[in-house]
Chains A and B, each alone.
Chain A
């Protein structure tokens, strides 16, 4: 049994924490939060590139480090803990992982080296309005290699260079690679709950589009990419949830009310114990997801769903109760609790809400049971 980070992976994680402590303190996060013109921190993005994190799992032949997925999970956990304001998930978990899983050799050779070099920001464009997008509602169309239609919201779509866009071609859904700097693309930055991540509306009007994966398999390819991303996002959520528990604990140990520290009151202690329980359930499920992702195991759909459900619940609970423990101070702009509350919402929604993943999990269990 070897179901934990290895010593090397722990070392990498500690180094990542040190790097982020030095280069992504809360001032960096607030620099993006408080500035409507910025949706990521370019200096941090450059630093992360130099660390090799963008190409952590990209094979060496394409300019990456060729590390395993568990290493990337360790990095993700630290990014989540630091609420890093960079388009890392869109670029690495979605675009790089997506191309490695479904891209053609030419697509890999052309884009992966640029991701590793920090030259390309990615994004995933599936949603077209409120509610879940499905084959019956999909509006974006590709005809003769040209994409038309509107995607809203697209996380990191305001700064991305390349988008993976879900659209139908001749009535068959597919996933398409689109150069957002090219012709036929106009975008508008939107206001969101989480200003440290950019969100855009992107309108396509005959933008050149190149299919990724099989024709007609658009939803399956998107799901395959989201399964991978869900595991990595779960580690970001876990890192954030752990930090919330720490913040709540630190505050409760220093705050006096009725003549003693509030950390001594059972109402507070039990709240923190509940956070701990949820975080450990999330950690164990996330580890299983990491194993399935790293090994390319057939259990990935179930493992990814469980990891995402547990991590979404843990981060949501920890982020809201962290505010509660901080009392009135927790509700101010100046105290950092809301950064985590915002990020917890962003991470729970970005790859499909927990409700969707619960349905996916049960559907997978039904399949397993029927087989």
Chain B
């Protein structure tokens, strides 16, 4: 057992580091500090993606012929680590390259692939995933957006929700209902669409955290060609499962303050019986958070080990978000309570740690829901990892149109 790279891995890391040292510095010198979600930030991100693509560091595991790096999964992990260390990494392309474009590659004709894959790898075009709906969240197959065949075209009407980055995306993959007369999973069909079509309207969602990172997307008589279909008519669920399988690989890592930051805060603040860091109940919580965070870190190392050995990683990475999202919420709340009356203040100019704990407190509820709720993730562990039976499905043999609907 060790944490060392193999000889080949070390050589790759060295090469990546040297490349990053040169190119990241040049990139930063040109763009400086930018505020996320601004046009400049996006422009910088696109340029960085193109720079990586030209050197084979974008989509490292994809064949070079389609713009990838022709490398291995472990090389992709190594580059990601070094890129993070170099302080770079833009989130705009994750969903498109991690989930949407792989779906397009798996289910479209050669011409479509040729048209879309390389520009996406170079960051010229960004993709979003249009699955969730007001009536189909955890139960995404209950979605209602209708696609109706009209000659060689389909006419689409309906609404999606929680679409990350819809307002800046160029294309999207859209799951629709094409046959309401059959049970819900059987009447779905997937398309790729042009997000800039006037029949597509994005409205930002005002989140409880105050931010507007997600969108509602409305389709009003959107016309798409039958050639934009991904997979067969009625096979949309199968196609979506391919996308979602990629989601489990793409989503990961945690954001926000961790045990280090709250330890720093506790050192500085007075509690009811002395320094907060000396409070025994706090120390026990701190130990638990440390054990969980390190547990996740070393779980990622186990996954890397499997990749390094050329094996398929085990299901252990499925524990990540359940732990990190819940910990963020508890840790943020403990910090806010530790600040006592002052904890109510959320102004970054005034609150400790630039209000990072207050912000995390308001963001954490979303994190426990996004990309699979705690409850759905536990179902996934129970069913796919432990092999327990699925729930009784009362909607399995009922035509979609006859299914009871509530709010």
Given contacts A277-B322, A366-B277, contact A358 B388 (CB under 8 A): no
What is A's interface to B at a CB cutoff of 8 Å?
1-6, 70, 245, 249, 252-253, 260-261, 263-264, 266, 268-270, 272-274, 276-277, 280-285, 287-288, 290-291, 294-295, 305-306, 309-310, 313, 355, 357-359, 361-362, 365-366, 369
The answer to whether B284 and A358 have CB atoms under 8 Å apart is yes
Interface centre among B1, B280, B375 (most CB of A within 10 A): B1
Specify the main secondary structure of chain A where it touches its partner: helix
Chain A residue, CB-CB nearest to B285: A358
The answer for the CA separation of A307 and B305 in the assembled complex, in Å, is: 20
The answer to whether B292 and A281 have CB atoms under 8 Å apart is yes
The answer for the CA separation of A42 and B325 in the assembled complex, in Å, is: 49
The answer for the CA separation of A62 and B381 in the assembled complex, in Å, is: 47
Among B3-11, B139-147, B175-183, B243-251, the one that faces the other chain is: B3-11
The answer to whether B386 and A273 have CB atoms under 8 Å apart is yes
How many chain-B residues does the 8 Å CB contact rule pick out?
Answer: 51
The answer to whether B319 and A1 have CB atoms under 8 Å apart is no
Known pairs A261-B389, A266-B378, A357-B287 / 10 extra A-B pairs, C-beta < 8 Å: A1-B4, A5-B1, A266-B391, A268-B388, A273-B378, A284-B295, A284-B296, A284-B298, A290-B1, A294-B1
Q: How far is the CB of A355 from chain B (nearest CB, A)?
A: 7
The answer for the CA separation of A243 and B292 in the assembled complex, in Å, is: 21
The answer to whether A291 and B382 have CB atoms under 8 Å apart is no
Given contacts A290-B1, A294-B1, A365-B263, contact A281 B284 (CB under 8 A): no
Q: How far is the CB of A120 from chain B (nearest CB, A)?
A: 30
Interface string of B1-25 (1 = CB under 8 A from A): 1111110010000000000000000
Q: B294 on the interface (CB 8 Å rule)?
A: yes
Q: B135 on the interface (CB 8 Å rule)?
A: no
The answer for the CA separation of A284 and B9 in the assembled complex, in Å, is: 22
Q: B304 on the interface (CB 8 Å rule)?
A: yes
Q: How far is the CB of A206 from chain B (nearest CB, A)?
A: 40
Chain A residue, CB-CB nearest to B380: A273
Q: Which residues of A contact B9 (CB under 8 A)?
A: 1
Q: Which residues of A contact B31 (CB under 8 A)?
A: none
Chain B residue, CB-CB nearest to A7: B309
Q: B342 on the interface (CB 8 Å rule)?
A: no
Q: Which residues of A contact B392 (CB under 8 A)?
A: 260, 264
Q: B306 on the interface (CB 8 Å rule)?
A: yes
Given contacts A1-B9, A358-B287, A362-B286, contact A285 B302 (CB under 8 A): no
The answer to whether A1 and B3 have CB atoms under 8 Å apart is yes
The one of A2, A245, A260, A309 in contact with B291, judged by C-beta atoms closer than 8 angstroms, is A309
Interface string of B381-396 (1 = CB under 8 A from A): 1110111111110000
Given contacts A273-B381, A280-B295, contact A358 B4 (CB under 8 A): no
The answer to whether B391 and A264 have CB atoms under 8 Å apart is yes
The answer to whether B319 and A276 have CB atoms under 8 Å apart is yes
The answer to whether A1 and B308 have CB atoms under 8 Å apart is yes
The answer to whether B378 and A274 have CB atoms under 8 Å apart is yes
Q: B299 on the interface (CB 8 Å rule)?
A: yes
The answer for the CA separation of A38 and B379 in the assembled complex, in Å, is: 44
